[in-house]
Amino acid sequence: MTKEDLDYLDRTIRRIPDFPRKGILFYDISTLIKDGKAFTKAIDILCENIEKNIGKDGFSKVVSIESRGFIFGSAIAYIFKKGLVIFRMLSREFFRMVVLSRPT
């Protein structure tokens, strides 16, 4: 990952001022996702960081949260050949939520 890579990704993200209300700057990643080169680079960078910090065998599942997380989580799970666990906001959960804790 280089500064040029990060600058390129940053340029592909659309910024929408005052959305959804005044004073909020919304970062729309749909423009990054629709750009094949940018989306591939983003997934590559995420996977490089996971491999560097956790390792390929340091986890058994990829957990992704809500809609944007599903997009990136699916690609990461595919690359690492891991299962995908999707989490939704409690109000949208159709199944009983299980709370997991990690041993310290």
Give a yes or no: residue 28 inside a domain.
Answer: yes
To the question of pTM greater than 0.75 for the whole model, the response is: yes
Cis-peptide, bond into residue 103, ω within 30° of zero? no
Per-residue model confidence as pLDDT tens digits over 33-51 = 999 999 999 999 999 999 9
Per-residue model confidence as pLDDT tens digits over 44-74 = 999 999 999 999 999 999 999 888 889 999 9
Give a yes or no: residue 97 inside a domain.
Answer: no
Q: Where are the beta strands (DSSP E) in 48-102?
A: 61-65, 83-87
Give a yes or no: residue 99 inside a domain.
Answer: no
Q: Dmax of the chain from CA atoms?
A: 45
- Confidence band, pLDDT 50/70/90 cuts, at residue 81: very high
Q: Which range of residues forms the domain containing residue 83?
A: 3-91
Domains held by the chain: number: 1
Q: What three-state secondary structure class fits 16?
A: strand
